[in-house]
């Protein structure tokens, strides 16, 4: 498993006073398509915060909330990459946050069930939708979308970095 560290402020772990854990899931079907969220003119992997739960439970919950797909709770999911980000004075001055994002690939042919989703207000305000993209076209599609709409939050950059790891693991 590959670990990526983003730490432009050179923070040390003992300077961190808040840790946020997240899961992101690359949902791939047997037609070699990946299911992505699309909101605010930005693609994103399915996923979100790990609450007071195990990682496997967070994966199942987040996939259901965003896609309506009900994954098996008895499956063992293994991350292929972790992104550790260190942020000084975020989200407030005096708060140094570390985010740990665990990336998983899940193979499934289960179809989205939009009547079974639970979107946040932010997702709703960005007209959140689900889009299947051919795996072979992912890099081009995300690059093109970022070129047209920008990448102010760095989400496309992060996705492209993780997709390179994902593709290298497939070789």
User: At 62, which CATH number?
Assistant: 3.90.79.10
Helix, strand, coil content of the chain in percent (nearest 5): 30, 30, 35
Residue among 130, 127, 128 at smallest CA distance from 112: 130
Quote the strand ranges of the chain, DSSP E: 2-6, 18-28, 33-39, 42-44, 46-49, 81-87, 97-107, 129-134
**Number of domain units in the chain:** 1
Residue 127, phi-psi category: left (phi > 0), alpha (psi -120 to 50), beta (remainder): left
Cβ atoms 21, 49 nearer than 8 A: yes
Cβ atoms 36, 46 nearer than 8 A: yes
Residue 18 structural domain = 2-170
What is the structure's pLDDT at 171? 78
Per-residue pLDDT of the chain (171 residues; tens, 9 = 90+): 999 999 999 999 999 999 999 999 999 999 999 999 999 999 999 999 999 999 999 999 999 999 999 999 888 899 999 999 999 999 999 999 999 999 999 999 999 999 999 998 989 899 999 999 999 999 999 999 999 999 998 999 999 999 999 999 987
What is the structure's pLDDT at 170? 84
């Amino acid at each position: 498993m590959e670990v990526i560290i983003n730490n432009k402020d050179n923070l040390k772990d003992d300077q961190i006073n808040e840790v946020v854990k997240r899961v992101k899931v690359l949902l791939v079907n047997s037609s070699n398509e990946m299911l992505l969220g699309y909101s605010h003119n930005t693609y994103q992997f399915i996923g979100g915060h790990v609450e007071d739960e195990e990682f496997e439970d967070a994966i199942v919950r987040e996939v259901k909330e965003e896609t309506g797909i009900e994954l098996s709770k008895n499956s063992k999911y293994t991350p292929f990459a972790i992104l550790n980000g260190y942020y000084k004075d975020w989200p407030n001055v005096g708060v140094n946050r570390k985010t740990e994002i665990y990336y998983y690939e899940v193979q499934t042919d289960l179809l989205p069930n939009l009547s079974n989703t639970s979107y946040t207000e932010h997702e709703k305000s960005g007209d959140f939708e689900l889009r299947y993209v051919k795996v072979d076209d992912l890099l081009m599609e995300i690059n093109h979308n970022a070129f047209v709409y920008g990448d102010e939050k760095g989400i496309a950059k992060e996705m492209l970095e993780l997709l390179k790891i994902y593709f290298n693991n497939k070789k």
